[in-house]
Structure 1
């Protein structure tokens, strides 16, 4: 079975699922009914409080357990509950463009675990899986694959994937990567959340969560005072201005370039990007699942090519 997982610093995505990259570990079963995994002698539940940024997600087992949740949820969607035999899994994953060469081998081995059988309990049902193959791809490029039919028409374009902690930038020529620009900058929306939370705590003695900030930026109903909303919107606009200036200093002029925005951060900031005079020709990949879908499209394309030889 093939399962594609996009491991974001803010959220975990599969082609069909989305949940926060947050985890609570306990020695005892949770007292309230919630999604729960029992693995390796510990109970794990999901939380909306995300894990602090990890450049190398193999530092501990948390992203492995989040992947078990993704696998279990995908199996559940397919009606596979408590199977009678071990399931072999081909896992598709991705890394930021600038981190790929350094981290992909370690990332793949982190999930392979010597191809040993992994037994775990998910919501009272028992699963035995073996991850037999892990294939890693480049984030941003994978998202672009979902729009290849449109991007191949342009002589030059940029994919700008604004994620939780990284902003990945990739130049394309007629839809194919131009290795002259393959960058990952640690300036994603988590840095914006942290700045806003710090300012609101300092000025208004309020402790905001990411979801509180999201509501204001998206223009959704909120109970936050008007002065707090003004501050949040001001800082979000400053964030985009600083990002555009930062990219401009590196020779990426968003005013004159065809820019394709992907990632959850781009979706969050879409209305600000569209109003900005810093971005001339924005195109949006609206699907938060685009990277995970792209991994799957790339893998199937590769398999078809190998099969035709």
Structure 2
């Protein structure tokens, strides 16, 4: 059976939904009537939804309403389209922040597996999926799961996402759970700081999509007065991250540190500490790829237990 299962790995960020092959904005809005254009339009249970645009507001959890469920359907459709399929048995592999993992895992599984058999349309194409399993893995850990064997000494992994920063200590190729932490200081907080300063100085804001582009690429080509605010605030953000590491008694000049997630490029471009002990995984899909890796390992382990080749 496992040979026929399609693994769909999704990183449900507050700014972007990431799969192994796609990235799109965490935004979904109901459309009152049938639209004239069906690009990024989801049709589910008689309703039309536009996927993309202005991101959702951050809430306490991702199971508060149907938004992340609808975005999950869109992510499934985008991945199945790439695979050339519109009907599949699916293993959903997703994640949650490290220190909230235990408290939120079961609710997230129930939320995503509310219906085992789901039929919906995306961009007018009908998809029929059977969700046979939902597994939740810790963010940050997933991003480096395929290279954990490289960390045979103390190593710090810092996953800076849209809303949270996960800090994970690895010792002898295993996470040291007592030394893990999650802080609400992701890139959205940096965007807020930039726009607060812009309102105070120029009585205007910079569109978040433009700020995301700068954070992803390190390229800032706007007018000098705005560029200075952006770059100054990003440097402050990077310094705040390093100061947080210092609070955990981490020697940022000696201890091996790897930055992952959307904030890796920000730390590489604007961080003042750039020693040989610091490395970066700048692929914003790293966690999604890690969820897929861990799901494949799970399936392989179950097959070995049954004596399958």
1:159/1:201 CA distance change after superposition, 3 Å: same
After superposition, residues 86-165 of structure 1 pair within 5 angstroms as 87-115=88-116, 117-151=117-151, 154-165=152-163
Residues 112-136 of structure 1 deviation map (CA, whole Å, 9 limit, x = unaligned): 1152x22211111222222121011
Q: Secondary structure in 1 aligned to 2:263?
A: helix
The alignment status of 1:41 with 2:40, answered yes or no, reads: no
* Aligned match of 1:283: 279
Selected match of 1:189 from 173, 187, 191:
187
Pair 1:60-2:65 in alignment:
yes
Distance 1:23 1:271, change over 3 A: same
SS in 2 for 1:74: helix
The whole-number CA distance in structure 2 between the counterparts of 1:35 and 1:215 is 21
Following superposition, the deviation at residue 142 of structure 1 comes to 0.5
Q: How does 1:283-302 map to 2 (within 5 A)?
A: 283-302=279-298
Partner in structure 2 of residue 304 of structure 1? 300
Mapped contact 1:4–1:92 kept (Cα < 8 A)? yes
The change in CA–CA distance for 1:126 and 1:33 in structure 2 (over 3 A counts) is: closer
Distance 1:308 1:185 in 2: 38
Paired positions, count: 299
Match in the other structure for 2:210: 212
When residues 130 and 306 of structure 1 are mapped into structure 2, their CA distance, relative to the original with a 3 A threshold, is closer
Q: Does 1:19 align with 2:57?
A: no
* Equivalent position of 2:260 in the other structure: 262
1:180 aligns to 2:178 (yes or no): yes
* Match in the other structure for 1:250: 248
Find out whether 1:30 has 2:35 as its counterpart. yes
The aligned residue for residue 9 of structure 1 is 14
Contact 1:39–1:120, Cα closer than 8 Å, also in 2: yes
Q: What 5-or-longer segments of structure 2 have no aligned partner? A: 1-5
Superposed CA RMSD = 1.9
Q: Check 1:291–1:219 CA distance in 2 against 1; reply closer, same or farther (3 A cut).
A: closer
TM superposition shift of 1:280: 6.3
Deviation at 1:146, TM superposition (A): 3.0
Output the CA distance in 1 between the equivalents of 2:20 and 2:212: 23
- Unmatched 5+ stretches in structure 1: none
SS across alignment from 2:283 = coil
Whether the aligned pair in 1 keeps the contact of 2:40 and 2:52 (CA below 8 Å) is: no
8 A Cα contact 1:214 1:268, kept in partner: no
Higher alpha-carbon deviation: 97-106 or 211-220: 211-220
SS in structure 1 opposite 2:132?
strand
- In the superposition, relative to structure 1, how do residues 291 and 268 fare at CA in structure 2: closer, same or farther (>3 Å)? same
